[in-house]
Structure 1
Amino acid sequence: MYAILDIEATGGKKGEEDIIEVAIYRFDGKKITDQLISLVKPDRKIDAYVQKLTQITPKMVKTAPKFAELAKRIIEITDGAILVGHNVDFDYRMLKQEFKKFGYSYYRETIDTVPLSEKYFPEAASYSLGKLTKELGIPISDRHRAAGDARATLELFKLLLDKDYHKNIVKKENKKNESTSTKFLSYYEELPNSIGIYYVFDKNKNVIFLSKATNLALNVRKMLMGKSNLSNKIRMGIDSIKYQVTGNELISWIKENHEIKRLKPSLNETNRKIEFPYGLYIEIKNGYKALILQRFRKQENGAIIKFTSLSLGQKLLSLITEEFELCPKLNEISKTEKCLSYEVGECFGACEGIEPVQEYNSRVDQFMEKIQLEGKSFLIIGSGRDIGESSFVWVENGETQGYGYYELNHQIKGLKRIKERMIPIENDPDINQMIKGFLFTEKYKDLINL
């Protein structure tokens, strides 16, 4: 199975681009069995050069889904498939880069049609997609748009499969399938593609490893097929695997953190301290309160929020800036000389000293009030394990007490009902930090103050 893809991006410095359009055709070697075509709302501006090349404008992507909304669909349509693209390294890097922003390790094997074209069409004048397809008589519409380029790549790939007399391309797919048809297949073939946590047991029924997973089947498969020392140790010691669906990432993270400390699996770092190398700080610029993301520094006031990675910090700072209508230039998200948000009417002019300081700082104070956990008690309502079920995480007086599930609202009305359904955990500063950040991920359904 193949997944023919093409991606258009915002442009910019390598590693800082965002996807603005994606097209994927799932291809079984004979016909298209599934497809995904969508614009994507980026977190950064689209370069002028890219707008001219692709004709994709900021207005077009303004109401498009964000990558996080398409992520599950992308995982599904490429599951068990080899990614095929023209200069596929770029498309694959962009996917991995976007998934990494929310802590997901995306892995697929790839086939690049450029070297294959060089091999099977040695007389071609050029191997750029536009010129090569024209020379081969392959019709291409919507050049430099994801759907048009992906469809042209698909037609090119069909020709390459026909020219591949020795079936080397198919052999690569068969080799991939054989590698997954090992004795380890039974451990993950029945696992769901759901968010949860899995436990690896040895022959003595002891848990030797456990981990959260955004996709249980995919994560376990990757773990068992990996080449790391940890994967080798797990393969040597595994006797069985059990799992629990959690319904959402926050509970997976809390449960993993809690269970490692409770069970002390031999292959987990049982005494690990979660690292938060980046922090969000307030700096005064001409009277305005700017939110600045920097490496964690020990100072009297400390960080407002701490982050496990730079990409997570950047993502959440963008969400905070958008939600509270703050200035991206003041918050150092935008590195341009002029504030583009002000020029298009999305910034009220703090960067130019136009907006009154008091009005701007009042919105920063609103953010500070939202992020303040001390003394607050509330429930974070999220997705449940099944349709019709919801989950909750209970924070009381700024400390996380536990989590649980319910089907009807009256089942969590009052502290007594909450405690009846709650799985308690020990208070952990690391969890409280993660909850601060989670409040801005837009991944929960509701926040109920108690």
Structure 2
Amino acid sequence: MYAVLDIEATGGKKGEEDIIEVAIYRYDGRQVVDQLISLVCPERKIDAYVQKLTQITPKMVKTAPKFHELAKRIIEITNGAVLVGHNVEFDYRMLKQEFKKLGYTYYRETIDTVPLSEKAFPEANSYSLGKLSKELGIPVSDRHRAAGDARATLELFKLLLEKDSLKSISKLEEEKKRVSQKFASVYEEMPNEIGLVYFLNQKKEVIYLTRAINIALATRKILTGKSGLSNKIRLEFATVRHEITGNELISWIKEANEKKRLKPKLVRNTNGFDFPYTLFVEIKDGYKTLKLDRNHRKRPNPVFQILSLKMGQKILSLITEEFQLCPKLNGISPADLDCLSFEVGECNGACKQKESPDSYNQRVDEFLEKIKLENKNFLLIEEGRRLGESSFVWVNDGVCVGYGYYELHHQIKDRKRIKERMTTVEKDSDIDSVVKGFLFTEKYRELITLPL
């Protein structure tokens, strides 16, 4: 069974869009047996570009049902079906995003008609839905509207099924369903909460653990994934357990500490480091520059360790922007080109020696002071695991020493009471790097300074 769909959205930053129209055709391989076509009233404005492209206006969606009013119907029409779409990842992401707002983990297997079309029609001039449909003689009405695009995708999918002489699409569907159904009872019992997931073998040994923004979703991804790591976990695990942490900061800290304590045999990174990249300070012509490099933990002037190159580049860009540093000096802009930020007035010209090193370095020092742990004693306060509960992370004399939970403020008013409620963690540069990252992004509710 297939659910061929198309979603139209408001536009905006990834993760912040809302659905404005949905069309789903439930297809049994021979005929459409059910369908859902509806405008959706979004919570945010529709971008002007989207209005022009789709001809969907704020007035049209004003009286349309909100997503939560359609949610049950969407679950029903896609139940037991594989989602089929042209660039289906976008449509699937939008559905998961909307369901997440409702506290529900939405999971379906997917088939994307784009790579299937590339394989079936290698001579096509384009694989965009409109151009490919025209080239194949598939009629398209209401282009860039959900119903029109979903109907065109359905006709394309029918053609792909006809050309699939080896029945590879059907086999793909059956395999995805088999793997998904096998582990459904495991991940469907998991909560949609922030925390850790532990995979244990028959001997009750933890073979793998990971932090998760959504425990249920992370468990499902691991058990149904195609990676070598997922394959190894599926072969060896016997049971799965979880722990809710209530917030990201403690999930990061607890993950690092648990890996040291439990030493699981399966890990994400085979190089031995979960934080393989280092941000460090380097002096160039008197200017303090921030550099990102791999496996340089012993390099002088390290700032903190970072999980991945992509995350490191993002953090470095945010630091450069917030403290008005030079992207060219920090290695963000190409070395062989002029500094565009200087040309548009967003850089003070340190890369051209038009700003003195003392002036520039003062802003670098402001960043370093913001994330500094040395000679500091404080609590980072965040949400707890349940309503009415809060959490703390304690940095004592420059080192993260533990975390805990409390309900009343007097329960953390002095060191003795903090220690009574605290779970101790081993001294670890990775954990300190996590704390520094949260200090920089200010992803905490409150910072309480304690006497040294």
TM over 0.5: yes
1:294 Cα offset (Å): 2.7
Aligned with 1:154 (options 147, 150, 153): 150
Matches within 5 A, 1:402-417: 402-417=402-417
Does the 8 Å contact 1:5/1:91 carry over to 2? yes
| Identical positions, percent | 49
Return the alpha-carbon distance in structure 2 between the equivalents of residues 299 and 200 of structure 1.
33
Q: Which string of whole-angstrom CA distances, capped at 9 and with x for unpartnered residues, describes residues 303-325 of structure 1?
A: 22232321121111112112212
The one-letter code matched in structure 1 to 2:359 is E
Return the alpha-carbon distance in structure 1 between the equivalents of residues 276 and 420 of structure 2.
37
Kindly indicate whether residue 378 of structure 2 is the aligned counterpart of residue 378 of structure 1: yes
Structure 1 residues 295 and 90 mapped into 2: Cα distance closer, same or farther (>3 Å)? farther
Structure 1 residues 150 and 415 mapped into 2: Cα distance closer, same or farther (>3 Å)? farther
1:268 Cα offset (Å): 6.3
Question: 2:332 matched to which residue of 1?
Answer: 333
Greater CA drift, 30-39 or 291-300: 30-39
Question: 1:274 matched to which residue of 2?
Answer: 273
Structure 1 residues 31 and 293 mapped into 2: Cα distance closer, same or farther (>3 Å)? same
Q: Which string of whole-angstrom CA distances, capped at 9 and with x for unpartnered residues, describes residues 335-380 of structure 1?
A: 2723333344433333343344433221111111122211111222
Structure 1 residues 437 and 219 mapped into 2: Cα distance closer, same or farther (>3 Å)? same
Question: 2:61 matched to which residue of 1?
Answer: none
Question: 1:324 matched to which residue of 2?
Answer: 323
Does the 8 Å contact 2:191/2:215 carry over to 1? yes
Question: 1:362 matched to which residue of 2?
Answer: 362
Question: 2:294 matched to which residue of 1?
Answer: 295
Q: What is the SS of the residue equivalent to 1:375?
A: coil
Residues paired across the two proteins, number: 391
Kindly indicate whether residue 36 of structure 2 is the aligned counterpart of residue 31 of structure 1: yes
Question: 2:112 matched to which residue of 1?
Answer: 111
Structure 1 residues 38 and 311 mapped into 2: Cα distance closer, same or farther (>3 Å)? farther
Structure 1 residues 22 and 126 mapped into 2: Cα distance closer, same or farther (>3 Å)? same
1:37 Cα offset (Å): 10
Structure 1 residues 389 and 83 mapped into 2: Cα distance closer, same or farther (>3 Å)? farther
Does the 8 Å contact 2:393/2:404 carry over to 1? yes
Q: Which string of whole-angstrom CA distances, capped at 9 and with x for unpartnered residues, describes residues 70-113 of structure 1?
A: xxxxxx999998675546699999xxxxxxxxxxxx99744124
Q: What is the SS of the residue equivalent to 1:381?
A: strand
Does the 8 Å contact 2:86/2:153 carry over to 1? no
Matches within 5 A, 1:52-201: 86=86, 109-113=110-114, 115-116=116-117, 127-132=127-132, 136-139=138-141, 148=144, 153-160=149-156, 173=173, 175-182=175-182, 184-201=183-200
Does the 8 Å contact 2:130/2:140 carry over to 1? no
Does the 8 Å contact 1:118/1:127 carry over to 2? no
Q: What is the SS of the residue equivalent to 1:283?
A: strand
Return the alpha-carbon distance in structure 2 between the equivalents of residues 175 and 113 of structure 1.
20
Question: 2:310 matched to which residue of 1?
Answer: 311
Unaligned segments of structure 2, at least 5 residues: 27-34, 54-73, 94-106
Q: What is the SS of the residue equivalent to 1:190?
A: coil
Return the alpha-carbon distance in structure 2 between the equivalents of residues 115 and 323 of structure 1.
44
Does the 8 Å contact 2:4/2:150 carry over to 1? no
Does the 8 Å contact 1:381/1:392 carry over to 2? yes
1:239 Cα offset (Å): 3.8
Return the alpha-carbon distance in structure 2 between the equivalents of residues 118 and 267 of structure 1.
35
The one-letter code matched in structure 2 to 1:444 is Y
Unaligned segments of structure 1, at least 5 residues: 10-17, 40-50, 56-75, 94-105, 142-147
Q: What is the SS of the residue equivalent to 2:440?
A: coil
Question: 2:434 matched to which residue of 1?
Answer: 434
Structure 1 residues 437 and 359 mapped into 2: Cα distance closer, same or farther (>3 Å)? same
Return the alpha-carbon distance in structure 2 between the equivalents of residues 442 and 322 of structure 1.
15
Structure 1 residues 150 and 20 mapped into 2: Cα distance closer, same or farther (>3 Å)? farther
The one-letter code matched in structure 2 to 1:138 is V
Return the alpha-carbon distance in structure 1 between the equivalents of residues 198 and 297 of structure 2.
37
Question: 1:213 matched to which residue of 2?
Answer: 212
Structure 1 residues 237 and 84 mapped into 2: Cα distance closer, same or farther (>3 Å)? closer
Return the alpha-carbon distance in structure 2 between the equivalents of residues 408 and 439 of structure 1.
24
Return the alpha-carbon distance in structure 2 between the equivalents of residues 122 and 333 of structure 1.
38
Return the alpha-carbon distance in structure 1 between the equivalents of residues 342 and 79 of structure 2.
42
Q: What is the SS of the residue equivalent to 1:181?
A: helix
Return the alpha-carbon distance in structure 2 between the equivalents of residues 303 and 108 of structure 1.
43
Return the alpha-carbon distance in structure 2 between the equivalents of residues 298 and 122 of structure 1.
48
Please report the TM-score for the alignment, with normalisation by the length of structure 2. 0.68
Q: What's the C-alpha RMSD, in Å, of the aligned pairs?
A: 4.9
Q: What is the SS of the residue equivalent to 2:327?
A: coil
1:399 Cα offset (Å): 1.0
Q: What is the SS of the residue equivalent to 1:304?
A: strand
Does the 8 Å contact 1:296/1:303 carry over to 2? no
Question: 2:247 matched to which residue of 1?
Answer: 248
The one-letter code matched in structure 1 to 2:351 is C
The one-letter code matched in structure 2 to 1:129 is L
Structure 1 residues 370 and 128 mapped into 2: Cα distance closer, same or farther (>3 Å)? closer
Greater CA drift, 301-310 or 349-358: 349-358
Please report the TM-score for the alignment, with normalisation by the length of structure 1. 0.68
1:254 Cα offset (Å): 1.9
Return the alpha-carbon distance in structure 2 between the equivalents of residues 321 and 79 of structure 1.
47
1:137 Cα offset (Å): 4.8
